C-alpha cells in the first residue's frame, strides 16, 4: 500500500523545528511518511510563528500558495499549527479559507486523531485549548537520518512578561520536564549516534523552578555532561536576570558544555529596558558578561536587540551602540520592533516611525558586522575542534562543521569525517564562516 505523504514547513525558532520533528514522529504512526516536495503531499502542515508581524505575513502568503495544490488534489489536507495558530484560532479560516486544520501549541498530541477525523468526515477542525501539562513535552522527536546534532526540549512556556513579547500568551506558563526523562532521551540519542545536543526552552535558566523535581539547570548540565557519547552541549535561550553564578561556573566545570552563550540584551538603555520590563539594568548585564569571561575567558557571547521600541529616543539607541562597543558580541540578531496583539507594549505611547527604526537597524547591523569580522579574524592561526556535520555548500570536496563557539568552519575533507570532532587550523575568516585545514582528530584541549 502506498504510504501517505506529509510535508511540513517550519517558521520561527528552534523550538518549532523540534516541534515539527515531533509532529513527523507522531504522524508516522498514522502511516504518514515525510516528503520534501509539497506537490507529493497528502497532508501539508505549516508550523507557524507569531513573534513579529513579518513572520505572520510570510506564513499567510505561503499558505496562500498552497491553494493551487488543493485545487489539483481535493483530498489534500492543509493545516496551520503552532504559535500563530494558537493566537488566531478559528480566525485563521477567515484569512485562509482553504485551510482544513488549525492546531495550537498545546494540542500537537491530538494531530493524528484530528487528521484521521478530517480524512473520514471532511470539514474544518480547530483546537487551541490549553493543557495544564503540555503533552507534547513527552513526545520524542526523531532526528533526521544521519544527524550528528539535535535539539532536546527541556522546558517550555515562559512566565516573564517582556512588554513586547507574545510568547507567554501562546506557549503558556513555564513547565519543566523531569531530569530523568531528559537524561533518558539524551542517552537514547547518544546511542543513535548523536554527538551534540542543544537544550531548548524559552528561558532555560529557570529550568526546574516550576516542577523540575528539585534540580536546577546547572544540575541538568552536570548530569548530561556525564552521558557517554555526548561530546557537546549547547543551550538556548537564557534570560540575563536568571543567569546564576552556578550556571556561570558550569562553563569551566562541565567538559562538553560549549563555550558559547546566547544572552539577549534587547537594549543598552536602562530607560528602555525598564519600559520593556526586562528586570535588569545595562550595568548588571555587563557584570554578568564580565563574570562569564572570568569563568571562561574565550567564551563567545551572542545576543538579540530590538530597535525602535516605543519611546526609544536617539540617546537610548546610542546607549545600545555603546554597550555593543563595550561587549563586542561575537554575533547579534537584531530586529525592528513589531507590535503584537495582546502584549503590554501594544498601544504604548511614542511609537518610533518606521523610517527611524529602519535607519537604526542599518546603523546597528553595520557596527555588528565590524565586531563579527573582528572576532572571526581573531581565530585565524588558531586550531579549533570542529564537529563535522556534513558536506559544505561550497562543493563535495569540502566538509562543514562548527567550533565549540558555534562558528561555521569549511575545510577540505572526506565524508568519512562526518560525526567526528577534528582539529582544524583556521586560515581565513569571513562574516558568516571560517575556513581551515584539518590537523588532527579529537576535541583536544578546549581553547
Cα separation, 447 vs 166, whole angstroms: 39
Partner touching 136 among ligand 5AD, ligand SF4, none, CB below 5 to 8 Å by kind? none
Binding test (CB under 6 A) with ligand SF4, winner from 109, 110, 171, 177:
171
Task: Compute φ and ψ for 52, nearest 5 degrees.
Answer: -135, 155
- The reply to whether 62 sits near ligand 5AD by the rule CB under 6 A is no
Return the range that interacts with ligand SF4 (CB under 6 A); candidates 123-131, 166-174, 234-242, 273-281.
166-174
Helix, strand, or coil (residue 147): coil
* One of 26, 45, 76, 83 touching ligand SF4 (CB under 6 A): 83
The size of the interface with ligand SF4 (CB under 6 A), counted in residues, is 12
Q: Which of 7, 8, 16, 196 binds ligand SF4 (CB under 6 A)?
A: 16
User: Which residue, 306 or 352, has its beta carbon nearer to ligand 5AD?
Assistant: 306
Smallest separation (angstroms) from ligand SF4 to the CB of 440? 39
> In the complex, what is the shortest distance from the CB of residue 333 to ligand 5AD, in angstroms, rounded to a whole number?
7
Question: Whole-angstrom Cα distance, residue 168 to residue 43?
Answer: 29
Stretch that binds ligand 5AD, among 2-10, 196-204, 332-340, 412-420 (CB under 6 A): 332-340
Site membership for ligand 5AD, residue 335 (CB under 6 A): yes
Site for ligand 5AD in 31-50 (CB under 6 A): none
Min. distance of Cβ 227 from ligand 5AD in angstroms?
Answer: 29
Q: Is 8 in the site for ligand SF4 (CB under 6 A)?
A: no
User: What's the Cα-to-Cα distance from 120 to each of 1, 75, 107, 264, 277, rounded to whole Å?
Assistant: 18, 11, 20, 47, 48
**Binder of ligand 5AD out of 117, 298, 304, 398 (CB under 6 A):** 304
Burial (CB count <10 Å: 0-12, 13-18, 19+), residue 241: middle
Pairing of strands 300-307, 395-402: unpaired
Name the segment binding ligand SF4 (CB under 6 A); options: 10-18, 94-102, 350-358, 422-430.
Answer: 10-18
**CB 266, CB 304: distance < 8 Å:** yes
Whether the CA torsion 274, 260, 222, 190 is positive or negative: it is: positive
Does residue number 308 form part of the binding site for ligand 5AD (CB under 6 A)? no
Beta strands in 175-311 (DSSP E): 175-176, 196-200, 232-236, 260-262, 300-307
Closest CA to 326 of 357, 373, 282, 366: 282
CB of 319 to ligand 5AD, least distance (A): 16
Residues in CB range of 72: below 8 A, 6 or more apart:
none
Beta strands in 237-378 (DSSP E): 260-262, 300-307, 331-336
DSSP 313: -
**Residue 165, SS3?**
coil
Q: Using CB under 6 A, which residues numbered 246 to 265 contact ligand 5AD?
A: 264
Residue 303: which residues within 8 A CB-CB, separation 6 or more?
262, 263, 264, 265, 327, 329, 332, 333
Q: Which is nearer to ligand SF4, 170 or 399 (CB)?
A: 170
> Binder to ligand SF4 among 15, 81, 243, 438 (CB under 6 A)?
15
Site for ligand SF4 in 25-54 (CB under 6 A): 49-51
Site string for ligand SF4, 191-220 (x = CB under 6 A): ------------------------------
**Mask 136-175, x = binds ligand 5AD (CB under 6 A)?**
----------------------------xx----------
- Say how far apart CA 340 and CA 334 lie, in whole Å: 17
| Element containing residue 179 per DSSP (H, E) | helix 179-191
Which of 4, 5, 22, 52: binder of ligand 5AD (CB under 6 A)?
Answer: 52
What value, to the nearest 5°, has the Cα angle with vertex 341 and ends 308 and 263?
50
The answer to whether 132 and 50 have CB atoms below 8 angstroms apart is no
**Identity of the residue, 167 or 345, whose beta carbon is nearer to ligand SF4 in the bound complex:** 167
Q: Which stretches of the chain bind ligand 5AD, using CB under 6 A?
A: 51-52, 164-165, 264, 266, 304, 306, 335, 337-338, 340
Q: Which stretches of the chain bind ligand SF4, using CB under 6 A?
A: 12-13, 15-16, 49-51, 82-83, 167, 170-171
Amino acid at each position: 500500500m502506498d504510504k501517505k505523504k506529509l510535508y511540513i514547513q517550519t517558521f520561527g525558532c528552534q523550538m518549532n523545528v523540534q516541534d515539527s520533528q515531533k509532529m513527523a514522529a507522531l504522524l508516522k504512526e498514522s502511516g504518514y511518511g515525510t516528503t520534501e516536495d509539497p506537490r507529493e503531499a497528502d497532508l501539508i502542515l505549516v508550523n507557524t510563528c507569531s513573534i513579529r508581524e513579518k513572520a505572520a505575513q510570510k506564513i499567510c502568503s505561503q499558505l496562500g500558495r498552497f491553494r493551487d495544490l488543493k485545487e489539483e488534489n481535493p483530498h489534500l489536507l492543509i493545516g496551520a499549527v503552532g504559535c500563530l495558530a494558537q493566537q488566531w484560532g478559528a480566525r485563521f479560516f477567515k484569512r485562509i479559507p482553504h485551510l482544513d486544520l488549525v492546531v495550537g501549541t498545546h494540542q500537537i498530541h491530538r494531530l493524528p486523531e484530528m487528521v484521521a477525523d478530517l480524512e473520514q468526515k471532511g470539514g474544518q477542525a480547530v483546537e487551541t485549548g490549553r493543557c495544564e501539562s503540555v503533552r507534547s513535552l513527552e513526545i520524542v522527536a526523531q532526528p533526521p537520518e544521519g544527524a550528528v546534532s539535535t535539539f532536546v526540549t527541556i522546558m517550555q512556556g515562559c512566565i516573564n512578561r517582556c512588554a513586547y513579547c507574545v510568547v507567554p500568551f501562546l506557549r503558556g506558563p513555564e513547565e519543566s520536564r523531569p531530569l530523568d526523562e531528559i537524561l533518558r532521551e539524551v542517552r537514547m540519542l547518544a546511542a543513535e549516534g548523536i554527538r551534540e545536543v542543544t537544550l531548548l526552552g524559552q528561558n532555560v535558566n529557570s529550568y526546574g523552578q516550576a516542577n523540575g523535581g528539585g534540580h536546577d539547570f546547572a544540575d541538568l548540565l552536570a548530569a548530561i555532561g556525564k552521558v557517554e557519547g555526548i561530546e557537546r552541549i549547547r543551550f538556548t535561550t537564557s534570560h540575563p536576570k536568571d543567569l546564576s553564578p552556578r550556571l556561570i561556573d558550569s562553563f569551566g566545570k562541565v567538559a562538553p558544555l560549549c563555550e558559547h552563550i546566547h544572552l539577549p540584551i534587547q537594549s543598552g538603555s536602562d530607560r528602555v529596558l525598564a519600559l520593556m520590563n526586562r528586570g535588569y539594568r545595562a550595568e548588571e548585564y555587563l557584570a554578568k558578561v564580565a563574570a562569564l569571561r572570568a569563568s571562561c575567558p574565550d567564551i563567545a557571547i551572542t545576543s538579540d536587540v530590538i530597535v525602535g521600541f516605543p519611546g526609544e529616543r536617539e540617546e537610548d539607541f546610542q546607549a545600545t551602540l555603546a554597550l555593543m562597543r563595550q561587549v563586542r558580541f561575537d554575533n547579534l540578531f537584531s530586529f525592528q520592533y513589531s507590535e503584537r496583539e495582546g502584549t503590554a507594549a501594544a498601544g504604548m505611547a511614542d511609537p518610533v516611525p518606521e523610517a527611524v527604526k529602519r535607519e537604526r537597524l542599518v546603523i546597528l547591523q553595520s557596527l555588528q558586522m565590524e565586531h563579527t569580522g573582528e572576532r572571526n579574524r581573531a581565530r585565524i592561526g588558531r586550531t579549533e575542534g570542529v564537529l563535522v556535520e556534513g558536506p559544505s555548500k561550497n562543493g563535495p570536496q569540502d566538509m562543514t562543521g562548527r567550533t565549540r563557539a558555534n562558528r561555521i568552519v569549511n575545510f577540505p575533507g572526506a565524508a568519512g569525517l562526518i560525526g567526528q570532532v577534528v582539529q582544524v587550523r583556521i586560515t581565513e575568516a569571513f562574516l558568516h564562516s571560517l575556513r581551515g585545514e584539518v590537523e588532527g582528530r579529537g576535541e583536544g584541549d578546549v581553547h
